[in-house]
Chain A
Amino acid sequence: MVNKDWLTVALAKGRMLPPALELFEKVGIGCGQLRENSRKLVFTVEEHKLRFILAKPMDIPTYVEYGVADLGVVGKDVLMEQEKELYELLDLKIGPCRLAVAQKRGGGKFNGGYVATKYPRVADRYFQGQGKQTEVIKLHGSIELAPLLNLADAIVDLVSTGKTLIEHHLEEVEVIAWITSRLVANPGSYQVKGARVTDLLQRLEAVLTEGAAEPC
């Protein structure tokens, strides 16, 4: 049921979870129980009236959109692909990487053709904007395989270090967008739970600017 005092935050399972938890711990919200490797998907932090739910990254915008979660932490790549009407409140600077076009090494300029990706809508929009004719092939993982097997001429995928690309004899040719995790809210929660959302937002913002000022 709707409870004005409690705040529900959806977090992505997987590699983005530890840095997100670290951030919440820095603002004083103990997330120890989420670090334990259990099968639990819902965690409550009684003293802060916070509830965390763990979900697949691609599902986080949906949980937030439907109001099951008030806030979510999710990659900009997912937000770009799903184009939901969510408020993007803060760049949490977690998991910096880029959404890039890559193709077989030495292929020259990519001028259209078949593109394999987990992000068909982003790819479609991007190449349409460039006036390049492409046919987008949706895959769910191991995107690097597609050019190797001649299923596609190029791929659109997340790149962080670029090591995976090199291992598969691919090279990055264009960057579509720089990606980090964002704090998102649905309009209803943003307004009805305004004070709590603003409070958390400001605390996270403070921690992030502090972190940026520190020499590393």
Chain B
Amino acid sequence: MNEKLRRLLTPEGVRDLLPELAGQKRELEKMIQASFSRWGYGEVSTPAFEYSANFVDEMKAELTDKVYRFLDERGRTLVLRPDFTLPLARVVATHLSASPLPLRLCYGGDIYRYAHGQQGKQRVVTQAGVELIGSGCAGADAEVIALAVDVLQELGLVEFTFCLGHVGFLEGMLAAYEVAEAERDAIKFFFNSKDFVSLKTLVQSLALSESAKEAILRVPGLRGGKEVLREAAKLVPGGAADEPLRLLAEIWEVLADYGAAKFITLDLGLVRMLDYYTGMVFEGYTGGLGYALCGGGRYDQLLGHFASQRPAVGFAINVDHLLKVLQRVREMPALRELVFVGYGKAQRAAAFAEAARLRQEGERVLVDVQERALRAAQAEGERLGAAKFSYFSQDCSRQCGRLERGAANGE
């Protein structure tokens, strides 16, 4: 590729947003943060890059080969944040260690990850999310799910589903059947990617009793309402998964009181691969979109890596995916029409005052960069895509009116 062309391109996985879309995205982020704020969550902003030690030790395999790394002037390795949960855990362990618990924090911004193998995958993703730190009870689990539901509803999304599971269920089951460690990881991996064909092949090949195999292979089908929990309990001997199931039942009850239970589907095969999840996990989906809109869960060990252990639960919304869906299902706020303010000789100050007044009213105003005759000013306004004009002529009279918008598409 020649150098001149390269200068005009962006690297793979990143893109420019032009006024209409960039405006909608900004608006969407504001609306999400406003919802978080109404639930009493306080926004935290963390730097885009940090020492790699803050991340890499905690992330394990799934993320480590996806982070952007570079060196600072002293040769220390820095990483662009691949996630917000770890930076927030660091903030809680340092600046906010004396705050009363539970602590409710939220964030919004870009994360950076190498996307591997997939076509059209973005490498910079805008997220917005919350963390509720310092409470281990079902009420906290349910609160963040209810908040996620509330955000989607506030944004006018009607058709969506949250699937809810608990990493302890599958773990309890595999432990009860004495599945070896390495095989447990492989099984969890196939559950995460919902590759039920490979799962079946693997489980059939293990040295387990037929009833154990059958039980594991029935987990993908454990989806639906509360009745699923009873069915699930029967599959695990010795009550090894009773605690996760009891907790899910409790979360369900709390969500019912929030009026959010109708959006929830229990999915006991739901595994989120990030190693730090320790309890309930959930993901939000909508029809016609091949990816999750949001996801999260409980991670009670993570803060211990930075300071004293504290229970925590949270989720993140993928703002880019959400924007894509919202554009399809509802009218997104369009940019306001432009008003073009022009002026003749000696009328500049009057025009500027008018522009200031219009801006105060919330109009989007373009002021001409030079004085012109009325006709020329109108033409200039049309050329720049303005819908209305306001003109101050030399004789102190003022003309206003609408402009031909079609002209904006001209030369």
Interface residues of A (CB under 8 A from B): 2-4, 64-68, 76, 83-91, 121, 182, 185-195, 198, 202
184-200 of chain B: CB within 8 A of chain A: 193-198, 200
- Collect the chain B residues with CB atoms within 8 Å of residue A190's CB: 194, 285
Interface residues of B (CB under 8 A from A): 117-118, 159-161, 163, 193-198, 200, 221, 223-224, 265, 267, 283, 285-292, 328-329
Q: Majority SS of interface residues in chain B?
A: mixed
Known: A2-B288, A67-B290, A85-B290. A192 touches B160 (CB 8 A): yes
Q: List 30 A-B contacts (CB under 8 A).
A: A2-B286, A2-B288, A3-B287, A4-B159, A64-B290, A65-B290, A67-B287, A85-B193, A85-B290, A88-B195, A90-B196, A90-B197, A91-B197, A121-B117, A185-B194, A187-B283, A188-B285, A188-B286, A189-B287, A189-B290, A191-B161, A191-B285, A192-B159, A192-B160, A192-B287, A193-B287, A194-B161, A194-B163, A198-B221, A198-B223
CB pair B118 A4 closer than 8 Å? no
Known: A89-B196, A90-B197, A91-B200. A192 touches B224 (CB 8 A): no
Query: CB < 8 Å: which of A67, A83, A202 contacts B288?
Result: A67
- Collect the chain B residues with CB atoms within 8 Å of residue A3's CB: 287
Give Cα distance in the complex from A91 to B292, angstroms: 24
Known: A88-B198, A192-B161, A194-B265. A187 touches B221 (CB 8 A): no
Residue of chain B at shortest CB distance from A67:
B288
Distance in angstroms from B18 CB to nearest chain A CB is: 22
CB pair B224 A87 closer than 8 Å? no
Known: A91-B197, A198-B223. A67 touches B265 (CB 8 A): no
- Collect the chain A residues with CB atoms within 8 Å of residue B195's CB: 87-88
CB pair B290 A186 closer than 8 Å? yes
- Collect the chain B residues with CB atoms within 8 Å of residue A187's CB: 194, 283, 285, 290-292
Distance in angstroms from A182 CB to nearest chain B CB is: 6
- Besides A2-B288, A89-B194, 10 other A-B contacts (C-beta < 8 A): A2-B159, A66-B290, A68-B288, A86-B290, A87-B196, A188-B285, A191-B161, A194-B223, A194-B265, A198-B221
Distance in angstroms from A160 CB to nearest chain B CB is: 19
Give Cα distance in the complex from A207 to B287, angstroms: 28
Give Cα distance in the complex from A37 to B265, angstroms: 41
CB pair A191 B196 closer than 8 Å? no
Most buried by A among B159, B194, B200, B290: B290
CB pair A188 B163 closer than 8 Å? no
CB pair B289 A87 closer than 8 Å? no
**Top 7 closest A-B pairs, CB basis?**
A87-B194, A186-B290, A2-B287, A191-B285, A67-B288, A2-B288, A192-B287
Distance in angstroms from A1 CB to nearest chain B CB is: 8
CB pair A84 B118 closer than 8 Å? yes
Give Cα distance in the complex from A190 to B267, angstroms: 11
Distance in angstroms from A125 CB to nearest chain B CB is: 10
- Collect the chain A residues with CB atoms within 8 Å of residue B288's CB: 2, 67-68, 188-189
Distance in angstroms from B96 CB to nearest chain A CB is: 35
- Collect the chain A residues with CB atoms within 8 Å of residue B193's CB: 85, 87-88
- Collect the chain B residues with CB atoms within 8 Å of residue A66's CB: 290
CB pair B224 A195 closer than 8 Å? yes
